[in-house]
Amino acid sequence: MKYLSLTVAAALAATSAIADTALTYGPRPAFLIAQMEDGPLKTQLESCAAQTPARSDFSIGHRGAPLMFPEHTVESNVAAAQMGAGILECDVTFTADLELVCRHAQNDLHTTTNIVVSDLADRCTTPFTPANGDTPASAECRTSDITLAEFRTLTPKMDASNNAATTAEAYLGGTANWRTDLYVDNTTMMTHAESIELFRSLGAKFTPELKSPSVEMPFNGFSQQDYAQKLVDEYKAAGVPASNVWLQSFELDDVLYWIENEPDFGAQAVYLMDEYETVDGYSPMDPATWPNTMEELKAMGVNIIAPPTWMLLTLDGDRMVPSPLALAAQEAGLQIITWTLERSGPLANGGGWYFQSVAAVTDRDGDYFEVLHVLAQDVGVIGVFSDWPATTTYYANCMGL
C-alpha cells in the first residue's frame, strides 16, 4: 500500500473486503449461453453451470470491466478481478510533469472525465466548443495538458460524449444505451504505479500498454525511449517479476526496444497489430500486402502478437475458421492474444468493427461464445481481452484452459 496515493488507498480499502470474497460469474455468462443456438458447445457450456469460478490468465480485463464501470478505475479493475480475470490492463500515457497514468489515450480526458466542466477546462488543447448547426460539439483534452496533481482532481466517467451538446455539462453525456452510468459515482482514477499495487493486491498479473503520444516526441526532453523505459522501471521498482508482465504497444519500435534493452520483459512483449487492417492496401486476409511477414516478426524477436478478433477469423461458407493471418502466425510459432470481446454491445446487427469478418454469422448475443470457441480451439489464442471478463473466465474454466 505504500505506493498508493491516499485517494487510491482509500478506494482500495473500501473495496478490499469485497475483492477478497469468492470469485463470481454473475448472471451474464448464463444469459449468453441461453441465447446460443442448440448444439454441442451450448450443451458443454450448460454443463459447467455449477462449476466453482477460478482465476484464469486466459481472461484479460480490458481496462478493467468497462462494459459497466468507468475504464481504468480502481472499481473497474476490482470488478474484473472478482470475475476471475487473471491479467489486468493499464493503458499508459503521461502528464505534463512526465508521470505515468492509466488512460486509454493521451487525448481522451474530454470523454473519460469531467475536465470540460472543471477548473481545468481552459487548459485543454482544444477547449469545449458547442454544437452549431451541422458542426458537432468538440473538445480535446490531454493528460499532457495538466500535471499529475491536477489529474488527481478529475472525476472519471463512462467513455462517451454528446456531440449534439450546446453546453459543456451536456457534452458529458452520450453513454451508449447498452452500457450504464449506474457505477460511475465515487470511482477512482490511478497512476500506473498505483495500478501495479492494486493489481498485485487483487492477485492479478499485468499487461500495460504504452500508448502512442498525442504530442510530438521528445516532449520536455522526454523521448519515446525514455517513455518505454520508464514503464519497465516502474515494475522493477515495485519488484514485479518480468514473467508476470506482458508489455504491449502498437508501435513495433517500442516492442523492439524492450527486446533489445530489457530482454526479460521483452521476451513476452506483445505487438498489437493494427496496420494489417484493410486500409492503405493492407489486408489480414492477403499475406502479400503485409508490412512484415509472421516469420520476419519472429526473427526480430517478437514472440506474441495481438490482432483484433476480426483479423483472426474468416468464413468458410457459414462456418468461422482461422484467417490467413492466424494460420501464418501459427506456422511461424507466434503466440496470439486478441481483443476485444463484449465491446460491441448486442450482436443483432452483426457486431460492428470487431466482428466485421464474420458479421454474416454473428446475429445473436450467444455468438460471443461461438467466436470465443473458434479463437481458443482453432486459432489457439492464449488470452482474450474482454470488457466483461466473466464471460472469458467462464469459458476458460469450462474448457480447462
Helix axes 74-82, 192-201, angle to 10 degrees: 30
Q: What is the amino acid identity at position 35?
A: Q
CA distance 381 to 371: 12
pLDDT digit string (tens) for 177-197? 999 999 999 999 999 999 999
Instruction: Work out whether strand 209-210 and strand 91-94 pair parallel, antiparallel, or are unpaired.
Output: parallel
Smallest Cα–Cα separation from 341: which of 396, 308, 385? 385
* For residue 218, cis peptide bond before it (omega within 30 degrees of 0): yes
Q: Which residues pair with 336 in a beta bridge?
A: 305
Is the bond into 111 cis (omega within 30 degrees of 0)?
no
**Is the separation of the CB atoms in 302 and 259 below 8 Å?**
yes
> Residue 335: which residues within 8 A CB-CB, separation 6 or more?
303, 304, 305, 382
Give the strands of the sheet with 205-206, arranged side by side: 100-102, 91-94, 209-210, 248-249, 270-272, 304-306, 335-341, 383-386, 56-61, 85-88, 205-206
Distance CA 67, CA 176 (A): 10
Q: Does residue 231 register a pLDDT over 80?
A: yes
Least confident of 3-12, 293-302, 308-317: 3-12
Q: Is the dihedral of CA 381, 383, 389, 394 positive or negative?
A: positive
What pLDDT band is residue 18 in, cutting at 50, 70 and 90? low
For residue 22, what pLDDT band results from cuts at 50, 70 and 90? confident
Q: Show the cell assigned to 170.
A: 451536456
Residue with more model confidence, 133 or 8: 133
Mean predicted confidence (pLDDT) in 190-219: 97
Neighbours of 98 (CB within 10 A): 16
Res. 1 pLDDT band, cuts 50 70 90: very low
pLDDT: is 349 or 125 the higher one? Answer: 125
pLDDT recorded at residue 289:
87
Domains of the chain by range and CATH?
A: 6-90+190-399 (3.20.20.190), 107-186 (no CATH)
The three-state (H, E, C) secondary structure of 72-101, written as one string: CEHHHHHHHHHCCEEEECCEEEECCCCCEE
pLDDT of residue 99: 98
Cα–Cα dist 120/114, whole Å: 9
| In contact, 312 and 283? CB cutoff 8 Å | no
| 8-state DSSP, 58 | E
Statement: residue 3 has pLDDT above 60: no
Residue 341's DSSP bridge partners are 386
Q: For residues 75 and 154, what is the distance between their CA atoms, to the nearest angstrom?
A: 16
Task: Please tell me the total number of residues recorded for the chain in this structure.
Answer: 401
Asked if pLDDT for residue 16 goes beyond 70, the answer is no
Three-state secondary-structure class, residue 146: coil
Mean of the per-residue pLDDT values for the chain?
94
Q: What is the pLDDT of residue 2?
A: 44
Residue 355, SS3 per DSSP: helix
Q: What is the pTM of this model?
A: 0.95
Q: Can you give the pLDDT at residue 8?
A: 72
Give CA–CA dist 219/221, Å, rounded: 5
**CA 398 – CA 29 distance, rounded (Å):** 11
Q: Is 138 helix (H, G, I), strand (E, B) or coil?
A: strand
Confidence of residue 301 (pLDDT cuts 50, 70, 90): very high
> What does the pLDDT read at residue 240?
98
Nearest to 401 by CA among 388, 386, 382, 375: 382
Mean pLDDT of 89-100: 98
Q: What is the pLDDT of residue 349?
A: 87
Tens digit of each residue's pLDDT (9 = 90 or more) over 245-294: 999 999 999 999 999 999 999 999 999 987 666 556 678 888 888 889 99
